[in-house]
Amino acid sequence: MEIKFCGSVSPYPKGIDSCPSILVSSGDFKILLDCGAGSTRNLDMLRDLRNLVAFISHYHPDHYSDLTSLLYSSYTNHNLGYLNERIKIYLPDEKCLEHDYLSDPTRENYAEFLEYNALSSIAHGDMQITFAKNPHPRDTYGMRIDSKDGSVVYSADTGFKGNSVERLAKDADILICEASYLRGFNRKNDTHLFAHEAALIAKHANVSDLYLFHTYPELDKNDYLNEAREVFPQTHICEDGMKLDLRRV
């Protein structure tokens, strides 16, 4: 199982950094976790659209805005003869304007739209994906992918109190966890994590390695890394384009 970081910052892309998106592959099967602004530039459309299933964690635009590029790419690649099966797009089953906009049947795409919720369990190749809801202003889901190679957990956005990430990530090989804040930031609402809080979750969940994403694009990522490593030394930072082979972690 290979992991590629296609986007790592929020709430907007800057320089080479795009908004959140993670591509997880096993053989010919691919799962895309979120599709934030700018992230599709890190996809190989001729290859990655084949056998692709995408999951949008919640309806905040920094996590779905590049889905429009993904959908139009599926349309053009199908018309050119490069894509013979529709990509699948799973959206949270929250009924809202964003859901209707993204799944608009008149949009030019070669995709199938489906819904999921916290009780869903979806297989794709040898990968099994399960979900857990997290505290956030919009219905938001963390996701866990299990395969013969190991387990990867994606937190999506979450507050610290009452989140489900620790339970979802129990004994996982890799936790990809948001870290929006650093010590000294004024957090008005518990809807995102400090770097040290992400590290606490990783420590309590007994994961092997923690990768931080959703960092603020104006700040040095090493500041997030240093704060988290005080609590959980096996912390790393997500960089756009970086790849991991889970069998070698």
Could you report the per-residue pLDDT of 86-105, keeping only the tens digit for each?
999 999 999 999 999 999 98
> Is position 41 within any domain?
yes
Residue 202, SS3? Answer: helix
pLDDT tens-place string over residues 110-133: 999 999 999 999 999 999 999 999
The answer to whether residues 182 and 198 touch, using CB atoms and an 8 Å cutoff, is no
- Phi and psi torsions of 132, nearest 5°: -150, 140
β-bridge mates for residue 174, sequence order: 152, 209
> Is position 126 within any domain?
yes
- Phi and psi torsions of 24, nearest 5°: -115, 125
> Is position 157 within any domain?
yes
* Residue 63 belongs to domain with CATH number: 3.60.15.10
140-147 and 127-134 beta bridge pairing:
antiparallel
Instruction: Look up the domain containing 217 and give its range.
Output: 2-238
**23-50 mean pLDDT:** 97
**2-27 mean pLDDT:** 97
β-bridge mates for residue 172, sequence order: none
> Is position 249 within any domain?
no
Nearest to 207 by CA among 175, 163, 167: 175
Neighbours of 230 (CB within 10 A): 12
Non-local (6+) Cβ contacts of 176 within 8 A are 3, 22, 152, 153, 154, 155, 211, 213, 238
Joined tokens for residue 77: 């690649």
> Is position 37 within any domain?
yes
For residue 201, the surrounding DSSP H or E stretch is helix 195-205
- Residue 20 is classified by DSSP as S
> Is position 245 within any domain?
no
**180-202 mean pLDDT:** 95
> Is position 244 within any domain?
no
The answer to whether residues 152 and 24 touch, using CB atoms and an 8 Å cutoff, is yes
Joined tokens for residue 134: 């997290």
> Is position 246 within any domain?
no
Nearest to 128 by CA among 155, 156, 150: 150
pLDDT tens-place string over residues 143-174: 999 999 999 999 999 999 999 999 999 999 99
What band does 248 get if pLDDT is binned at 50, 70 and 90? Answer: low
Alpha-carbon span 121 to 144, nearest angstrom: 10
Domain count, the chain: 1
Residue-level pLDDT at 105: 85
β-bridge mates for residue 122, sequence order: 129
Alpha-carbon span 177 to 238, nearest angstrom: 10
Alpha-carbon span 60 to 116, nearest angstrom: 17
The answer to whether residues 49 and 80 touch, using CB atoms and an 8 Å cutoff, is no
